[in-house]
Amino acid sequence: MSVQQAGKSKVAVKPLELDSVKEPPLNLYKPKEPYTATIVSVERLVGPKAPGETCHIVIDHGGNVPYWEGQSYGVIPPGENPKKPGSPNTVRLYSIASTRYGDSFDGRTASLCVRRAVYYDPETGKEDPSKKGICSNFLCDSKSGDKVQITGPAGKIMLLPEDDPNATHIMIATGTGVAPFRGYLRRMFMEDVSTFKFSGLAWLFLGVANTDSLLYDEEFTNYLQQYPDNFRYDKALSREQKNKNDGKMYVQDKIEEYSDEIFKLLDGGAHIYFCGLKGMMPGIQDTLKRVAEQRGESWDQKLSQLKKNKQWHVEVY
């Protein structure tokens, strides 16, 4: 199994030099000269009733493309760019779903959480293969031993601040946006990292369609049992749960449910992270604004303060 069980005792990791670097690695490989990595495994993450398919893809980079939790890899799918014949395909960015040590804890792999992008014709309701996502289908269809061109690592906005091991981290994900948070949580609760002994609170909100669509649920549930004082996990299942107005339960409805607590934590310096499809943000922002106003606060002022304090981290696509 590439999606490792979260064991009771923490797992030893190597090489320890990966934690002695002071600055995150950035853009070691560029689109013009990508790194050729190898697919280790591709595993379907979702059950039969999930709309669409999401895969966990482990890539062997041989230790040559190191990264930190919260960064992304670029993937260049094979073939030529349909918009620029003769040129390679453009880079697609994917948030990395593993810690810097990878799922095999040896610093040689990175994992991606990829939803296969398919297009349904609105008139016929049938799938149109000519419009399917080139890169997500390439990755989900790949087999162990296949080669994959990667770039990066990229991104600094979602790096996990580790200066205070007692900090609170509120993570809000929709679908594959859970990827960076899986990395954070493995670092906090699964791996034995000498430079980072987490003793704060990690609170994950995950929004998906239904129970079969949950991603890494077993891993997260394990942390809940092992670290009940340091981990909270709330799920919004839009096709199975109802919000207080009898509508579908989205992640912003869960945020509203716990809004008092969340605002108090933010006032106390908590970090808040958002990752997923960009369509998630307007609903969340509206909810936060409404809650702030009910509390007699200006959301615009609060948001600019959170950004100024580097407590607000958003990566949407």
Catalytic residues: 94-95, 275, 315, 317
Q: In 3D, which of 216, 260, 202, 237 has the Cα closest to residue 97?
A: 216
Closest CA to 116 of 167, 67, 64, 45: 45
Q: Residue 103: which H helix or E strand, with range?
A: none
d(CA 233, CA 107): 28
CB-CB neighbours of 13 under 10 Å: 23
Cα(158)–Cα(171) distance, integer angstroms: 11
User: Which DSSP helix (H) or strand (E) runs through 206?
Assistant: strand 201-208
Peptide bond into 153 cis (omega under 30): yes
Amino acid identity of residue 157, one-letter, is: I
CB 183 within 8 A of CB 99: yes
Q: What does the alpha-carbon distance between residue 249 and residue 231 come to, in Å, rounded to a whole number?
A: 22
